[in-house]
Structure formats: structure tokens, C-alpha cells
């Protein structure tokens, strides 16, 4: 059985927090809604690229997916961060 260890963010040493942040950033993506008529863009949240059981996707929070559903008549776009492709 997997044992989980929980720590408050403020209790994580700075060097460890920095390493975790860099790893997550490498797989992070911004999610944007683009209005079909005006081309106006609105960032609605973010997610991370994941692969589970050989299926690739973007994992995000429920409030973000709710916003996607609310704007289903518009286009969903991805905002790739600088080092995502390196």
C-alpha cells in the first residue's frame, strides 16, 4: 500500500520546493477561451499534461472544467509556456 506524506507548503525546504516547481512548470499549460466572433481571449485556468493508461490529456481542477462547459459555444485554446517544448 502506498504511504502518503503530507506537508504544509511553508514546511517544504526552499530547494525542494524550487525543484518541484520546475518539474510542474515543464508540464503546465494555460487554458484559454477564444470568442468566435471577436477573437477575444480569456484565460480560465491551467492544467498539466498527463498520461494515464497510455492515454494523454490535460488534468485540471473542476472549476476550470466547469468554465469550459459554460463556454462550450467558444473555442478552447492552449497557452504554452516557454520551456514546454524544450
The predicted pLDDT at position 53 comes to 94
Tell me how far apart the alpha carbons of residues 86 and 75 are, in angstroms, rounded to a whole number.
Answer: 26
The predicted pLDDT at position 82 comes to 62
10-residue mean pLDDT profile of the chain (86 residues): values are: 78 89 85 90 91 93 92 87 54
The predicted pLDDT at position 86 comes to 46
The predicted pLDDT at position 85 comes to 46
Print the SS3 string covering 40-74: CEEEEEEEEEEEECCEEEEEECHHHHHHHHHCCCC
Amino acid at each position: 500500500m502506498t504511504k502518503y506524506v503530507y506537508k504544509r507548503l511553508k514546511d517544504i525546504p526552499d530547494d525542494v520546493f524550487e525543484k518541484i516547481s520546475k518539474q510542474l512548470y515543464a508540464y503546465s499549460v494555460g487554458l484559454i477561451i477564444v470568442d468566435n466572433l471577436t477573437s477575444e481571449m480569456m484565460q480560465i485556468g491551467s492544467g498539466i499534461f498527463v498520461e494515464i493508461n497510455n492515454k494523454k490529456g490535460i488534468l485540471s481542477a473542476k472549476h476550470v472544467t466547469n468554465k469550459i462547459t459554460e463556454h462550450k459555444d467558444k473555442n478552447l485554446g492552449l497557452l504554452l509556456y516557454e520551456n514546454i517544448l524544450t
